[in-house]
Amino acid sequence: MMTIGCIRINNMTFYTYNGVFPEEQKLGQKLEIDAELGYPIEQRVQHDELSETVSYADVYETIKNFVHDHHYRLIESLANHLLTKLLNDYPRLTAVTLRIRKYGVPMAGVYDNVEIEVHGGQNHD
């Protein structure tokens, strides 16, 4: 039987200074991040012990610190670098999907936000 467990942390909200335009870098804006963490919960969590899983509290802290300490012109770059960090820092994860939503984008039109998504898995060759 194939197992494809998943841990999700949804709507993490951070105030950041990412953006192409000087106003974005100076004034900042809200970002929301969803993280989907692939982990075979069905196989690995058998004894109700934190050591059997990946601490989502630790993952949240990693994401929060990374977002606050790194500034990019493109949220695509933020997403790619954060994806690499999570896969490197948490080798027990089989895959990571990140969705990053940016609000207050200086773009004409009616919309709620702009969202990008990246996905990556471990290279266990």
Task: Please give the helix or strand (H or E) that residue 119 lies within, else none.
Answer: strand 114-121
DSSP category for residue 92: T
Active site residues: 102
CB atoms within 10 A of CB 113: 13
pLDDT at 15 over 60: yes
Angle, CA of 70, 71 and 74, to the nearest 5°: 125
Q: Which CATH architecture has domain 8-104?
A: 2-Layer Sandwich (3.30)
pLDDT in tens, 26-47: 667 889 999 999 999 888 889 9
* Residue with the two structure tokens 């004034």: 27
Is this prediction's pTM over 0.85? yes
